[in-house]
Amino acid sequence: GAVVSQHPSRVICKSGTSVKIECRSLDFQATTMFWYRQFPKQSLMLMATSNEGSKATYEQGVEKDKFLINHASLTLSTLTVTSAHPEDSSFYICSAETSGRAFFTDTQYFGPGTRLTVL
């Protein structure tokens, strides 16, 4: 239970293009989804928190216009990296939280991550 998927798992794009990453909760409804970024051998950095149907809340220093987050349904959130540049290359991980009784509340379940490489 509590499975979160991400697609794609790996993407390589040219500088200046936009890339969309999907995050899905497969067997539960996610009340809140989170997007993280992880640099090699470092911890996770929270980028933004999103609730279904409302605007995402971005962490300080994260550009809203560059990292567009859409949380259109209780099982899907997307992160779009617009006009990507090499410095945006990173491992992006989403997580989802649920209030459903079958799973732990107050616990984030993580996706497998998406490796973005911008050439």
Partner 1 sequence: GDSVTQMEGPVTLSEEAFLTINCTYTATGYPSLFWYVQYPGEGLQLLLKATKADDKGSNKGFEATYRKETTSFHLEKGSVQVSDSAVYFCALTQGGGGNKLTFGTGTQLKVEL
Residue 10 Cβ vs partner 1, minimum distance, rounded to whole Å:
9
Best CA proximity match to 74, nearest among 30, 108, 106 = 30
Residue selected from 21, 24, 25, 34 as contacting partner 1 according to rule CB under 8 A: 34
Dihedral pair phi/psi, residue 95, rounded to 5°? -140, 160
Q: Are 48 and 31 in contact (CB under 8 A)?
A: no
Residue selected from 40, 43, 54, 60 as contacting partner 1 according to rule CB under 8 A: 43
Q: What's the Cα-to-Cα distance from 86 to each of 89, 104, 118, rounded to whole Å?
A: 5, 38, 5
- Applying CB under 8 A, which part among 14-22, 35-43, 61-69, 76-84 lies near partner 1? 35-43
For position 56 contacting partner 1 by CB under 8 A, the verdict is no
Binding mask 67-106 for partner 1 (x = CB under 8 A): --------------------------x-x-x-x----xxx
Question: What is the binding site for partner 1 (CB under 8 A)?
Answer: 4, 6, 31-32, 34, 41-44, 46, 49, 51, 93, 95, 97, 99, 104-113, 115
